[in-house]
Amino acid sequence: MADTTIDGTSRGTEAAAHDPDAGPVRVGAMLFTLVDPHPGYEAAYNRWYERDHFYGGVMVGPGTLAGKRWVATRILKDLRFPVTPAGPSPVAEPLDAGSYLATYFIDAASVAEHFAWASEEVHKLYAADRGFDERRHAHTVLYTMRRAHHRDADPIPAHLALDHPYAGLASIHLDRAKGVSTKDLDAWLAGDGRSALLGEGSPVDQVLSWRPIIPDREGPMDLGSGPGGQERSLLTCFLDRPADAAWSHLINFSDALESAGIGRVVLAAPFTPAITGTDTYADQLW
């Protein structure tokens, strides 16, 4: 097994022959955008986003490594927890807000350039009538990658996670406990928390940890809930099994995280991969 940081420093064990994330291509940041189409516009939104905005809004930008779309069907939304999020700035208001998730990885060497481009480009697209008003953002936030944790000795590198055909994704937003830093969280994930997350038989192939970028947010639309405070972290768990089949494992992991005093989960949400070129799942959102 291997654990690596964004600066390429190995945190591995004796089982790792090499560091999979230390090459010249490294994930530096992520755009995480969770959105609901207005009821009745599901297919229209899906087609606009997939056929235009996915590319024009992000993929053609400088330094974009990869992008992938995910879906939260009604069945998957019903698995989200905690049922009553506590504390400031919950991620989804209400808990089941957000049906389509798009995740984009930005190369570590191009983060500033990319987001400078993106902040101007979105306004250009809307001025050119290439927006879509019949949607509501639940949570659109930029995140900086902190560390990759891999289950296997010869793992899929983090920068390939969006291109690999994973069966599902689990996003876990948490507020770290007082005095627990992002380094402490990753140290726990690599140590005492490893068996709960990446132990034998785990459906989680790799988990990437992130912290939000907390800028002044501008856009031609409301971007939904904010990034949270300095204590907010995000874990994206890439799954070998469909998310519903892996969900009991993620519940147990979240319980272990909270019991260890690392933090409090404010949203755990499962997703299935969107099927590109189709409107599959568009009739299963509500």
Contact 223, 138 (CB under 8 A): no
pTM for the structure as a whole:
0.91
CA atoms within 13 A of residue 41's CA, in its CB half-sphere: 13
DSSP 157: P
pLDDT at 222: 86
Structure tokens at 26: 């490294």
Q: What is the rounded CA–CA span in Å between residue 99 and residue 286? A: 9
Which alpha helices (H) appear in the chain, and where do they start and end?
Answer: 42-48, 54, 74-77, 111-127, 182-190, 194-198, 243-259
Ranges of beta strands (E only) in 117-262 are: 135-150, 168-176, 204-212, 232-239
Segment 239-281, tens digit of pLDDT: 999 999 999 999 999 999 999 999 999 999 999 999 999 999 9
Cα dihedral 207, 176, 76, 223 sign: negative
3-state helix, strand, coil in the chain (%, to 5): 25, 30, 45
Are the beta carbons of 80 and 92 closer than 8 angstroms? yes
User: What's the CA gap between 100 and 215, in Å, rounded?
Assistant: 24
What is the C-alpha to C-alpha distance for residues 70 and 275, in angstroms, rounded to an integer?
Answer: 9
Computed over its alpha carbons, how large is the radius of gyration of the chain? 18
Residues of the chain under the 50 pLDDT cut: 1-17, 88
Asked if 150 and 3 count as a contact pair (C-beta separation under 8 A), the reply is: yes
Q: Which residue has the tokens 């994704």?
A: 169
What pLDDT is stored for residue 73 in this prediction?
98
Domain 24-273 has CATH 1.10.1060: no
Q: Give pLDDT, residue 86.
A: 52
